[in-house]
Amino acid sequence: MSILTNKQNLPQQIVSAIMRDPYSRGEAHISVTQLIQPPRIIQLRKRYDDKIEEDASDRIWSLLGQTCHKILERSDDTGAMHEERIGIEVNGWWISGQSDCYITEQKNYLTGEYETIKPTIRDYKFIKTMAADFAHPDWEQQLNILAYLWREQGFPVDSLEIVAIFRDWSKAYFERGNYPPPAKVFKQKLWTHEAQEAFVMQRVLLHQKAEEMDDKWLPHCTPEEQWRKAPTWAIRHPKRVKAVRVLKTLTEAEAYIKNELNGDKHYYAEHRPGGATRCESFCDVAPFCSQYQYEKEADAKQAA
Ligand code: SF4
């Protein structure tokens, strides 16, 4: 059990609700969510579980997400399956995953008619609006592994979708344009059953090998897994939510303002530092990770 802290002094009932999170991957060796994560993170979490600190404030969106999942179940009265946990054995490991919704029929809210739809796995996510602009390969991977589990159990799957609810949505920004509605469907690419099977096997083998390794030999997280960003310069205007353009160097940014924006003094270049965002702010095993400590020291030397 990791250590739950309350550094921001959240109300007691919120902290208690977080502490009583009923989530469990059951008897499985690994869950679908873990399978798509870097083996380094999964192993370090297992090995340092009793030393890892997690603050209640970092779990607040997950808590809200659980509440919304429950409420969204009432959107459906067709007998769709909600929060169904299924599992299969792969190379001696039990893999389990929970789908937010598996649905083959839905009610048209305008006509009240029921209509048959493609067998669909639907997952709800509560994300920031800026996340709508990025690719999310992990969404596609997660839903395809779930599809594999359903198909292996004899259920057809012909469509995958993420229903995103934007937790920081603003009506004022929406009215200015170029901004999403408060909730949006993101269709995900459905792989063939063979491609899903190959991917699942590859991930299982990767995690199984990591089990046998000392900390220092664990496979390194890739730059993508570290959410590593190169430093950039964003061209901003005080009255616009989003940057007009993001460029790699200050020289390019200044030239853009001069040549493309006619030197308009309202525009300015804002430095966005690069770095490994996940390691720095979102990885609870960072204090135990030799890769991160080594790279941090190397970056500091380079900056000096
Ligand atoms: S700190 Fe960074 S490199 Fe280390 S496990 Fe976490 S994400 Fe991977």
Q: What is the pTM of this model?
A: 0.84
Do residues 203 and 167 both lie within one domain? Answer: yes
Q: What's the average model confidence in pLDDT over 225-253?
A: 90
- Show the CA angle centred on residue 53, arms to residues 52 and 55, nearest 5°: 150
Do residues 32 and 163 both lie within one domain? Answer: yes
Which atom of ligand 1 lies nearest, measured to the CA of 44? Answer: 5
The reply to whether 222 falls in a domain is no
Do residues 134 and 235 both lie within one domain? Answer: no
For residue 142, the CA-to-ligand 1 centroid distance in Å is 20
For residue 134, the CA-to-ligand 1 centroid distance in Å is 21
**pLDDT-based confidence at 223, cuts 50/70/90?**
very high
The predicted pLDDT at position 273 comes to 78
For residue 204, the CA-to-ligand 1 centroid distance in Å is 19
What are the tokens at 34?
């873990």
Spatial neighbors of 31 by CB under 8 A, at least 6 apart, are 25, 95, 96, 97, 98
What are the tokens at 102?
């598996």
Q: Is the pLDDT of residue 298 over 70?
A: yes
What integer best gives the mean pLDDT of the chain? Answer: 91
**What residues flank ligand 1, with Cβ below 6 Å?**
38, 40-41, 44, 221, 226, 276, 278-279, 283, 285-286, 289, 291-292
Q: What's the average model confidence in pLDDT over 79-103?
A: 92
What are the tokens at 94?
């039990």
CA distance 117 to 85: 22
Given 182, 217, 252, the domain boundary residue is 217
The reply to whether 223 falls in a domain is no
Answer whether 278's CB lies under 8 Å from 226's CB.
Answer: yes
